[in-house]
Each structure stands twice: as structure tokens, then as C-alpha cells.
């Protein structure tokens, strides 16, 4: 029995059978199958129930013999829902409708609006915290570290990673998240975090070894990496922003900075270096995304298939350009070669952190580390580029610049 007429393999017109006779001995008058005239060059095919064969029809009018089913097309009055189409035609090989396409476009535009709004809000808040420095910057960083640590240990406990290893107990994960959040505060208060990190690692390792059951090395390794990744590395941003208190005397913005907000002394080397580093990371991510969309062809790595070499090169150029422009505005560092080196260092720290988090998410089998920020995902999705960059930026300003005098 003919069930559908397929037009150009994209539109299905249901057939209404007006008479049916399976016995050849019973007289049956000849009938016609009338098809709607859409175009003089329209291509039609009959799709039969219970078979996958398609029979082409060359004309818009079909003459049916007495031994064949008689049917009349009534496309204007009958329609099939999605489930029936999937049953009748090739097990559901039907293209999406215009309504579905419109819904997808509306969803994408809504996500883009959320991404822009929350991105601007986060950018303004982070910029204010960086300018304020001190306890404001440190507490804001500690809050982000706590949320990021919670997401990390949830990823470790996810089905994708836990299937091949034994995750740490939940109480250990929570304790480690609190320890990670305390590390930036201890860094600001003591100026050094090495003893605190070593002590925390010893306590956590002891708790894992003394737990009931059979302790596993996978528990110890994932926990130690969590303390390092989520707690120790972010502390370098505190050391960079708050620890390098030497004034940037040549900064023109500092000369006109209000006295009530700290005056020129507020603009320290740590503040200028942090602003340049943050801006360079944002530029690297933005230019890499736009470059990859426009000319990206060659995959960068299997860890993140959407990243391309072309996008990475464009991101590197944008990062260096941002670093050089801001160094001219802030008059730091004094040499443009140092500004270029600082931009390159920020770029590699950014992309390395991004790929590291992508590797963790890939093993966990998730797209985003969380859903805390609408349109962006989780905290780790937003700060992954900053995790390793802080240590590189601090080492550059503290060691390399004084060493080479540039």
C-alpha cells in the first residue's frame, strides 16, 4: 500500500486511500491519483509501507490499473505527526521542520544574550576587585577557588573518570575545597604559602591512608593534584597583585589617580602587571575563537577538536598586540621586547590551562564543568586560562625582569 509521496526527498504528502481491493476477481474501475502541481519540474517518489524501495514518478498525474491500489492525494487536509513518520518512512529519516529550526535559532540567540550579559557583569566585577586589591581581591579569589575546587572534585567523582579509578571520599573532597579556599588568604597574610600547602597535603594524605577499606593510589593522586591545581596555583595571583608593591612611577594614569583612592602610590607594579595579564588572556581567548571560526582548518589537538592551529596563531597575535598596547599606556615594562615576551608567556599559560581543563572534562564525559554561570557553564570553564598564567606572570615579573634588567 502506498503510504506517502516524497517530493524532492524533503517533503512528505500523505495519501488517503479511497478504495482498496486485494482480490483480482472483484471488478474495480480504473481510478486516478491526483498530485498537487507545485512546479512543472517537481520530482515525485512513492514510498511504500513495509519496504524501503522508492519508485520515481515522472508526471504529476498517475493512472492506476484495476489490479493496483487506488488513492487520492489530499495534502491540504491530512498530516502525520513525527512518531508516525518515523514508523512509516525509512525509520524516521525525515529532515527537521522549519519550526524546529526556528526554535534552535531562538535558543542560540537566548544563550548568546545570557553569555554577553553575564560576561560583562563578571568582567566589571573582576576589574573592580583587581583595582581594589588587598583583601577585596583576595576574598573574591578565594570564593572563586572554593567554587572551582568543588567543581573539580565533582568531575573526579563523575562516571567517566570514576569508572577507571576510585575517587576520594566525599568528605575528603569537601575538606580539600575548604583548604583550597584558605590558601589565597594565607598567602596574603603570611606572604608565603609553601609551608601551609605542604602541611595541608600531609594531613589529607594521612586521612586517605587511614580511611576504612582499601586506600587507592588514584585517590591520593587526584586529591594532591586538586590541591595543586585549584589551591596552590591561584595563589600566585595574590603574590602578583598584592605582593609586588613597588610603585609604577612612570604610569601616566597613576599621576591623575584620585588621592582618596590611593593616589599614584596605588598604581603598583603588581596592579599594572595583573591588568596587562588579565587583558592579554581575554584577548587571546577572543582572537583565538574568532580566528578559528573564520579561517580555522587544522585541528590543534585531539583533546579539544574545535581548537585549530589557525585560531591559536591569531590568538597569539592578539595577545601580543594587547600586551604591547597596554605597556605603552601604563609605561611598563619599559622595553617593547619585554612586553612581547610577557604577551607570549601569557598566551602559552592561557592555552595550557584551557587544554588541561578540557582534558579533565573529556575524561569526565561532560561538556561543561558546571552550570553556575548561565551561558558560560561553570567557574572552571571561565578561569581555566588563568590557573597556570598567574605563576608564569609572577615568575616573569619577579625573576626575569630584574635578571635581564628590562
Q: In this predicted structure, what is the pLDDT of residue 219?
A: 86
Q: How far apart are CA 297 and CA 304, in angstroms?
A: 14
Q: What is the pLDDT of residues 266-299, one digit of tens each?
A: 899 999 999 999 999 999 999 999 999 999 999 9
The answer to whether 387 touches 353, Cβ cutoff 8 Å, is: yes
Q: In this predicted structure, what is the pLDDT of residue 381?
A: 92
Q: Against a cut of 0.85, is the pTM above it?
A: no
Q: What is the pLDDT of residues 336-351, one digit of tens each?
A: 999 999 999 999 999 9
Task: Starting at the earlier edge strand, list the strands of the sheet with 2-7.
Answer: 54-57, 44-48, 2-7, 11-19, 70-73
Instruction: Give, as one character, the DSSP assignment of residue 307.
Output: -
Backbone angles phi, psi at 302, to 5 degrees: -75, -15
Q: What is the pLDDT of residues 77-103, one digit of tens each?
A: 444 444 454 454 444 444 455 566 777
Q: Is 338 left (phi over 0), alpha (psi -120 to 50) or beta?
A: alpha
Return the C-alpha cell found at 5. Answer: 509521496
Q: What is the pLDDT of residues 98-123, one digit of tens each?
A: 566 777 777 777 777 777 887 888 88
Q: In this predicted structure, what is the pLDDT of residue 10?
A: 41
Q: In this predicted structure, what is the pLDDT of residue 310?
A: 95
Which whole number is the average pLDDT over 362-377?
A: 83
Q: Kindly state the percentage of the chain with pLDDT values over 70.
A: 73
Q: In this predicted structure, what is the pLDDT of residue 152?
A: 95
**Does position 24 have pLDDT exceeding 90, yes or no?**
no
Which whole number is the average pLDDT over 162-185?
A: 87
Positive or negative torsion for Cα 164, 168, 174, 175: negative
**Does position 38 have pLDDT exceeding 50, yes or no?**
no
Return the C-alpha cell found at 164. Answer: 577507571
**Does position 16 have pLDDT exceeding 90, yes or no?**
no
Least-confidence region, from 200-209, 319-328, 371-380: 371-380
pLDDT grade, residue 32 (50/70/90)?
very low
Rg, Å, the chain Cα set: 32
Q: In this predicted structure, what is the pLDDT of residue 121?
A: 87
Which whole number is the average pLDDT over 170-190?
A: 92
Q: Kindly state the percentage of the chain with pLDDT values over 90.
A: 43
Q: How far apart are CA 386 and CA 281, in angstroms?
A: 7
Return the C-alpha cell found at 225. Answer: 593534584
Q: What is the pLDDT of residues 231-278, one digit of tens each?
A: 999 999 999 999 998 888 778 787 778 877 777 778 999 999 999 999
Instruction: Give, as one character, the DSSP assignment of residue 304.
Output: S
Q: How far apart are CA 81 and CA 67, in angstroms?
A: 31
Q: In this predicted structure, what is the pLDDT of residue 98?
A: 57
Q: In this predicted structure, what is the pLDDT of residue 50?
A: 45
**Mean pLDDT over all residues of the chain?**
78
pLDDT grade, residue 405 (50/70/90)?
low
**Does position 18 have pLDDT exceeding 50, yes or no?**
no
For 299, what's the count of Cα atoms within 13 Å in the CB-facing half-sphere? 6
Cite the DSSP H helix spans in 53-133.
Answer: 82-88, 98-132
Amino acid at each position: 500500500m502506498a503510504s506517502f509521496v516524497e517530493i524532492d526527498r524533503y517533503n512528505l504528502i500523505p495519501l488517503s486511500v479511497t478504495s482498496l481491493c486485494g482480490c483480482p476477481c472483484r471488478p474495480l474501475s480504473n481510478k486516478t491519483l491526483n498530485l498537487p502541481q507545485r512546479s512543472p519540474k517537481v520530482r515525485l517518489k512513492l514510498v511504500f509501507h513495509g519496504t524501503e524501495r522508492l519508485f520515481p514518478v515522472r508526471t504529476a498525474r498517475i493512472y492506476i490499473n484495476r489490479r493496483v491500489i487506488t488513492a487520492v492525494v489530499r495534502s491540504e487536509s491530512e498530516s502525520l505527526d513525527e512518531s508516525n513518520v518515523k514508523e512509516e518512512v525509512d525509520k524516521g529519516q525525515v529532515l527537521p521542520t522549519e519550526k524546529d529550526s526556528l526554535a534552535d535559532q531562538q535558543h542560540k540567540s537566548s544563550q548568546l544574550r545570557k553569555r554577553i550579559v553575564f560576561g560583562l557583569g563578571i568582567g566589571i566585577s573582576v576589574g573592580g576587585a583587581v583595582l581594589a586589591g588587598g583583601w577585596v581581591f583576595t576574598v573574591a579569589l578565594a570564593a572563586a577557588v572554593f567554587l572551582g575546587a568543588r567543581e573539580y572534585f565533582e568531575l573526579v567523582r563523575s562516571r567517566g573518570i570514576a569508572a577507571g579509578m576510585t575517587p576520594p571520599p566525599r568528605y575528603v573532597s569537601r575538606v580539600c575545597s575548604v583548604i583550597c579556599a584558605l590558601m589565597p588568604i594565607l598567602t596574603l597574610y603570611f606572604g608565603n604559602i609553601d609551608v601551609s600547602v605542604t602541611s595541608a597535603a600531609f594531613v589529607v594524605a594521612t586521612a586517605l591512608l587511614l580511611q576504612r577499606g582499601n586506600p587507592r593510589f588514584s585517590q591520593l593522586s587526584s586529591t594532591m593534584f586538586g590541591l595543586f591545581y585549584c589551591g596552590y596555583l591561584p595563589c600566585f595571583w595574590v603574590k602578583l597583585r598584592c605582593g609586588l608593591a613597588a610603585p609604577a612611577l612612570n604610569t601616566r594614569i597613576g599621576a591623575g589617580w584620585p588621592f582618596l583612592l590611593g593616589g599614584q602610590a596605588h598604581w603598583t607594579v603588581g596592579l599594572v602587571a595583573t591588568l596587562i595579564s588579565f587583558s592579554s588572556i581575554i584577548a587571546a581567548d577572543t582572537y583565538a575563537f574568532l580566528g578559528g571560526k573564520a579561517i580555522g582548518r587544522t585541528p590543534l589537538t585531539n583533546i579539544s577538536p574545535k581548537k585549530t592551529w589557525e585560531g591559536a596563531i591569531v590568538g597569539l597575535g592578539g595577545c601580543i598586540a594587547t600586551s604591547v598596547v597596554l605597556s605603552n599606556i601604563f609605561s611598563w615594562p619599559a622595553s617593547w621586547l619585554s612586553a612581547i615576551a610577557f604577551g607570549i608567556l601569557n598566551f602559552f599559560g592561557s592555552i595550557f590551562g584551557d587544554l588541561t581543563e578540557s582534558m579533565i572534562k573529556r575524561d569526565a564525559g561532560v561538556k561543561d564543568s558546571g552550570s553556575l554561570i548561565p551561558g558560560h557553564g561553570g567557574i572552571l570553564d571561565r578561569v581555566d586560562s588563568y590557573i597556570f598564567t598567574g605563576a608564569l606572570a609572577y615568575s616573569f615579573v619577579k625573576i626575569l625582569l630584574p635578571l635581564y634588567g628590562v
